[in-house]
């Protein structure tokens, strides 16, 4: 097969004709308007982010986390312009997959379609796990206590058990472990076993996925009505939280506003970006819109604007009600009102969280089958994936498969793993959609829709912005910049040190610290992690203590390639910036999609190198399927487009 055939492209007019003529497939029902699309966007965006991940982001960044919400909203806004332009140009199901087929060709389209599984399917695993946490918490408050081993995923239980064992090995008692580790330890030890396998599985997550899949299978009208109802409920609850919480705000809690500086604010980038994932799912419903070219762009923009306002208000209220460093909990809204002895509000929030996350599940569970349906229409997946139910007018087979793909991992995977995988898959799709608009901007043979991204020439603006960023880094942030370039070694935190020690090393370090500890030694919490943590407030003192520990250097510091590998994503980002500066200067690129590409790639660079590795492995699996099945079954196989 010729290399050029890997990049064979679909013609926009052919795609539109294919849908108009059904091309052997049944058409989807058209029921959606602007308010429905905006509601779907709000349903997808306001979910696990505002009820869960906002707590961790606020704990890291303090009240200044609102700037991270603004930055993420702007980045998503730039990407939304690109999505809206493509949706107006190619108003069919398929989202970024279809757009990439037009802009880049088949191999890139396949990669995007495969990557989008990590947004919709893997993203739904994340939301199902969060939903399960709130639902079981609600049952607990009502006096119904399920065994821990049927309400926790296997990975969290196993990891928590081994971390708890390592900390107890360092002298910490079980009673002094944090609540999450105790729960994981109990779930793992109390679970029934088959040989050495502990049977731990998140059954409530399975339950909600089955129910949502059944609703999505039933029809778009039913899904739309359920989504609109759930959106009204959760917006009312959020307004109630803001209205009540504002009376308990203590402005002293906003000082310091950015306690951990810019690094602390940016530390929450994955959690905050995850809070915005979902606005692009609207584009998968293009064939079910009454007027997609007009309504899709409006629906996306309204969803992002409304949700950003709510996120900023909630963040300010939360960090004003309690100190930022107390918010690193799984249910920050319920926690804050419970801490202020407003139990009735905690109950209302728990109920609304269950509703909110169910609405996110609904939107994502609609998105994935429609991606697969589009890929099947093109021959890249078996024909059954494009099967439309004759009565319900939904992609029936693809919806059922999506249910299985989401349900099974939800039983076993943990929240952090799937959140980061979901984020990197989504950001990758955003990067290519923005790049697609740039590739097509100067092509005059492409049919244009009613919406077009406002054009601002980046020829001089972007290179100047890049130069300004370099100057700022070396003048105002020189120490951190030089440390990054020189790959200076970084000291490990107490938890990292303790959990990496053998039993004998832990005993040796513990005995040494009891002898030299200059802090209070009368407290009951005299475990290894606690003693080391007591030095953290003074970086100089902590470094001196760690340097004196009777341990090898690699246990105290991260250096060499072990440290450099974590910087590889950022180096990829920096090298790409240079390429983009040259491209923008030579081709007069449009500034808005270019900034969208840069912002999304920067957020990808903030994710760990392990996420990049896992994502790369996922893409390689996808390429194996493409060359094994999709390449020869593609409807463009042998055609000249």
Question: Is the four-CA dihedral 102, 108, 113, 119 of positive or negative sign?
Answer: negative
Q: Per residue in 359-388, pLDDT tens?
A: 778 777 877 888 888 888 888 889 888 888
pLDDT band at 496 (very low <50, low <70, confident <90, very high): confident
Is the pLDDT at 179 greater than 80, yes or no? no
State both tokens at 144: 């119904």
The two counts, helices (H) then strands (E), for the chain are 30, 4
Rounded CA gap, 234 and 42, in Å?
10
The average pLDDT across 31-49 equals: 76
Is the pLDDT at 618 greater than 80, yes or no? yes
pLDDT at 598: 92
pLDDT band at 142 (very low <50, low <70, confident <90, very high): confident
The average pLDDT across 5-23 equals: 68
pLDDT at 578: 93
CB 193 within 8 A of CB 199: yes
Kindly give the interhelix angle for 343-377 and 106-141, rounded to the nearest 10 degrees.
160
Kindly give the interhelix angle for 343-377 and 203-218, rounded to the nearest 10 degrees.
60
Is the pLDDT at 292 greater than 80, yes or no? no
pLDDT at 498: 80
pLDDT at 524: 45
pLDDT at 523: 42
Q: Per residue in 570-592, pLDDT tens?
A: 999 999 999 999 999 999 999 99
Phi-psi region of 20 (alpha: psi -120 to 50; beta: other; left: phi over 0): alpha
Q: What's the CA angle centered on 369, arms 425 and 77, to 5 degrees? A: 45
pLDDT at 270: 67
Least confident stretch, 4-8, 279-283, 460-464: 279-283
pLDDT at 17: 67
Tracing tokens 């409807």 back to the chain, one arrives at 635
pLDDT band at 466 (very low <50, low <70, confident <90, very high): very high
Phi-psi region of 95 (alpha: psi -120 to 50; beta: other; left: phi over 0): left
Is the pLDDT at 135 greater than 80, yes or no? yes
> Of all residues in the chain, what percent carry a pLDDT higher than 90?
7
Least confident stretch, 107-116, 264-273, 334-343: 264-273
Q: What is the DSSP letter of 31?
A: -
Question: What is the rounded average pLDDT for all residues in the chain?
Answer: 80
Q: Residue 569, SS3?
A: helix
Q: How many CB atoms lie within 10 A of CB 357?
A: 28
Biggest CA pair distance of the chain = 82
pLDDT at 581: 93
What's the 3-state SS for 116-180? Answer: HHHHHHHHHHHHHHHHHHHHHHHHHHCCCCCCHHHCCCHHHHHHHHHHHHHHHHCCCCHHHCCHH
Q: Per residue in 513-542, pLDDT tens?
A: 777 765 554 444 567 777 777 777 777 888
Question: Is the four-CA dihedral 34, 35, 36, 37 of positive or negative sign?
Answer: positive
Q: Per residue in 374-432, pLDDT tens?
A: 888 888 889 888 888 787 777 888 889 888 888 888 777 766 667 677 778 888 888 88
Determine if the peptide bond prior to 256 is cis (ω within 30°): yes
Residue partners of 625: CB distance under 8 A and separation at least 6: 114
Q: Phi then psi for 509, rounded to 5 degrees?
A: -65, -40
């Amino acid at each position: 097969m010729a290399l050029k055939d890997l990049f064979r492209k679909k013609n926009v007019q052919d795609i539109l004709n294919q849908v108009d003529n059904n091309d052997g497939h049944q058409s989807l029902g058209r029921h959606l308007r602007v308010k429905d699309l905006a509601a779907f966007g709000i349903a997808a965006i306001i979910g696990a982010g505002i009820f869960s991940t906002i707590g961790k982001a606020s704990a890291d960044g303090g009240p200044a986390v609102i700037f991270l919400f603004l930055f993420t909203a702007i980045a998503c806004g730039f990407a939304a312009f690109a999505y809206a332009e493509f949706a107006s140009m190619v108003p069919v199901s398929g989202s970024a997959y279809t757009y990439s087929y037009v802009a880049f060709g088949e191999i890139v389209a396949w990669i995007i379609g495969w990557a989008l599984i990590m947004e919709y399917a893997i993203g739904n695993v994340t939301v199902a796990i969060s939903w399960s946490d709130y639902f079981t918490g609600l049952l607990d408050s009502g006096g119904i206590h399920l065994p821990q081993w049927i309400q926790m995923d296997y990975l969290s239980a196993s990891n928590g058990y081994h971390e708890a064992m390592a900390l107890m090995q360092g002298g910490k008692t079980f009673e002094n472990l944090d609540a999450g580790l105790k729960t994981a330890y109990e779930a793992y030890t109390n679970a029934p076993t088959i040989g050495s396998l502990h049977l731990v599985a998140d059954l409530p997550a399975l339950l909600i996925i089955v129910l949502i899949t059944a609703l999505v299978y039933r029809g778009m009208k039913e899904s739309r009505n359920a989504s609109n109802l759930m959106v009204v409920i959760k917006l009312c609850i959020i307004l109630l939280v803001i209205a009540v919480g504002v009376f308990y705000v203590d402005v002293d809690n906003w000082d310091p506003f950015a306690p951990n500086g810019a690094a602390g604010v940016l530390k929450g980038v994955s959690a905050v970006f995850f809070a915005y994932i979902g606005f692009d799912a609207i584009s998968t419903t293009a064939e079910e819109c009454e007027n997609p070219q007009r309504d899709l762009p409006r629906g996306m923009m309204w969803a992002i604007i409304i949700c950003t306002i709510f996120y900023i208000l909630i963040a300010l209220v939360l960090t004003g009600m309690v100190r930022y460093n107390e918010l690193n909990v799984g249910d920050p809204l319920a926690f804050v009102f419970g801490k202020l002895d407003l139990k009735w509000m905690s109950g209302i929030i728990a109920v609304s969280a269950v509703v909110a996350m169910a609405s996110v599940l609904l939107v994502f569970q609609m998105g994935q089958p429609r991606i697969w349906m589009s890929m099947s229409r093109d021959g890249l997946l078996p024909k059954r994936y494009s099967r439309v139910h004759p009565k319900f007018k939904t992609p029936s087979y693809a919806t059922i498969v999506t249910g299985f793909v989401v349900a099974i991992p939800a039983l076993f995977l943990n929240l952090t793993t799937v959140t980061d995988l979901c984020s990197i898959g989504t950001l990758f799709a955003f990067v290519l959609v923005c790049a697609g608009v740039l590739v097509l901007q100067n092509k005059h043979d492409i049919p244009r829709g009613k919406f077009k991204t406002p054009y601002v020439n980046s020829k001089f603006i972007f290179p100047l912005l890049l130069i300004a960023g370099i100057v700022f880094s070396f003048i105002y942030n020189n120490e951190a910049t030089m440390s990054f370039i020189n790959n200076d070694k970084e000291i490990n935190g107490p938890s990292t040190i303790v959990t990496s020690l053998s039993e004998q090393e832990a005993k040796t370090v513990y005995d040494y610290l009891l002898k030299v500890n200059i802090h209070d030694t009368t407290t009951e919490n005299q475990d290894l992690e606690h003693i080391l943590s007591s030095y953290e407030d003074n970086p100089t003192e902590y470094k001196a203590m760690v340097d004196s520990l009777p341990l090898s250097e690699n246990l105290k510091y991260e250096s060499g390639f072990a440290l450099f590998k974590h910087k590889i994503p950022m180096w990829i980002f920096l090298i790409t910036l240079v390429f983009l500066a040259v491209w923008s200067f030579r081709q007069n690129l449009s500034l808005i999609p270019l900034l969208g590409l840069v912002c999304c790639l920067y957020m990808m660079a903030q994710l760990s190198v392990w996420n990049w590795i896992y994502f790369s492995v996922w893409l390689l699996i996808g390429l194996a399927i493409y060359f094994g099945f999709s390449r020869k079954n593609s409807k463009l196989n042998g055609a000249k487009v």
